Amino acid sequence: MFRKISNIIVKQLLTFSGAITGIAILFISIFLFKEGLGLFKSPAIEEGYALFVNSKNIVDNLTAKEIKEVFDSEITNWHDLGGEDIEIRIFRIDEIFQHYSDEELGEDYQFLPEKLAEVIREDESIVAFVPVEFAPAQHVGVKELMVDNITFSDYFAGKEWLPTATPAPLFGTLPMFLGTLLVSLVAILFALPLGLGVAIYLSELAQERIRKFLKPIIELLAGIPSVVYGFFGLVVLAPLVQKTFNLPVGETALTGSLILAIMALPTIISVAEDAMRNTPRAMREASLALGATHWQTIYKVVIPYAKSGISAAVVLGIGRAIGETMAVLMVTGNAALIPTSLFDPVRTIPATIAAELGEAPTGGAHYQALFLLGCVLFLITMVISITAEMISKKKNYKDM
Partner 1 sequence: MNKKTKQKLAFLLFRLFSIIIVGILLSILGFIAFNGIKVINWEFLSTMPKEGMTEGGIFPAIVGTCYLIIGSLIFAVPLGVMSAIYTVEYAGNGKIVRFIRMMTNNLASIPSIVFGLFGMALFVTKLGFGDSILAGSLTLGLLTLPIIIRTSEEALKAVPESYRTGSYALGASKLQTIRKVVLPCAMPNILTGIILSVSRVSGETAPILFTVAAYFLPNLPDSIFSQAMALPYHLYVLATSGTDIEASRPMAYGTALVLVVIVLFFNLTATILRQRLSRKLKNK
Q: Which of residues 164-223 bind partner 1 (CB under 8 A)?
A: 193-195, 197-198, 200-202, 205-206, 214, 216-221, 223
The count of other CB atoms within 10 Å of the CB of residue 254 is 27
Minimum CB distance to partner 1, residue 253 (Å): 18
Considering only 63-71, 91-99, 276-284, 346-354, which stretch makes contact with partner 1 by CB under 8 A?
A: 346-354
What is the three-class DSSP state of 89? strand
For the chain, how big is the Rg over CA atoms in Å?
Answer: 30
Of 111 and 232, nearer to partner 1 (C-beta) is 232
The answer to whether residue 15 forms part of the interface with partner 1 (CB under 8 A) is: yes
In the region spanning residues 284 to 343, those forming contacts with partner 1, defined by CB under 8 A, are 293-296, 298, 319, 322-326, 330
* Contacts with 238 (C-beta within 8 Å, 6 or more apart), sequence order: 249, 250, 251, 255, 331
Is residue 378 involved in binding partner 1 (CB under 8 A)?
yes
The binder of partner 1 chosen from 82, 106, 131, 225 (CB under 8 A): 225
Query: Contacting partner 1 (CB under 8 A), which of 76, 110, 164, 385?
Result: 385
Output the smallest distance, CB 313 to partner 1, in A.
14
Site size for partner 1 (CB under 8 A): 83
Under the binding rule (CB under 8 A), the answer on residue 275 touching partner 1 is no
Q: Which stretch binds partner 1 (CB under 8 A): 38-46, 82-90, 121-129, 378-386?
A: 378-386
d(CA 13, CA 16): 5
Q: Does 31 bind partner 1 (CB under 8 A)?
A: yes
Taking CB under 8 A as the criterion, the residue among 138, 340, 362, 396 binding partner 1 is 362
- DSSP annotation of 250 reads S
Chain positions 69 to 128 lying near partner 1, rule: CB under 8 A, are: none
Residue whose CB is less far from partner 1, 46 or 324: 324
Note whether 68 and 90 are within 8 A (CB): no
Interatomic CA distance for residues 267 and 270, integer angstroms: 5
CB of 81 to partner 1, least distance (A): 37
Of 235, 244, 286, 300, the residue at the interface with partner 1 (CB under 8 A) is 235
Q: Which of 83, 230, 333, 339 binds partner 1 (CB under 8 A)?
A: 230
Distance CA 90, CA 53 (A): 10
Choices 79-87, 122-130, 180-188, 366-374; region in contact with partner 1 by CB under 8 A: 366-374
> Rounded to the nearest 5°, which phi and psi values hold at 121?
-60, -35
Phi/psi at 58 (nearest 5 deg)?
Answer: -90, -5
Nearest distance, CB of residue 145 and partner 1, angstroms: 32
Q: Which is nearer to partner 1, 246 or 362 (CB)?
A: 362
Query: Which of 52, 229, 305, 343 contacts partner 1 by CB under 8 A?
Result: 229
> Beta partners for 147?
62
27-42 residues labelled b (16+ CB within 10 A) or e (exposed): eeeeebbebbebbeeb
Residues 6+ apart with CB under 8 A from 285: none
Q: Is 236 in the site for partner 1 (CB under 8 A)?
A: yes
Would you count residue 265 as binding partner 1 (CB under 8 A)? yes
Element (H, E) at 143: strand 142-147
User: 3-state class of 83 per DSSP?
Assistant: coil
Exactly one of 57, 184, 226, 287 binds partner 1 (CB under 8 A); that residue is 226
- To 10 degrees, what angle do helices 174-200 and 253-277 make? 40
| C-beta pairs of 368-371 under 8 Å, 24+ apart in sequence | 368/35, 368/36, 368/38, 368/39, 368/42, 369/39, 369/155, 369/163, 369/171, 369/173, 371/32, 371/35, 371/36, 371/38, 371/39
Instruction: Kindly state whether residue 384 participates in binding partner 1, applying the rule CB under 8 A.
Output: yes
Q: Determine which residue in the list 7, 76, 110, 164 makes contact with partner 1, applying CB under 8 A.
A: 7
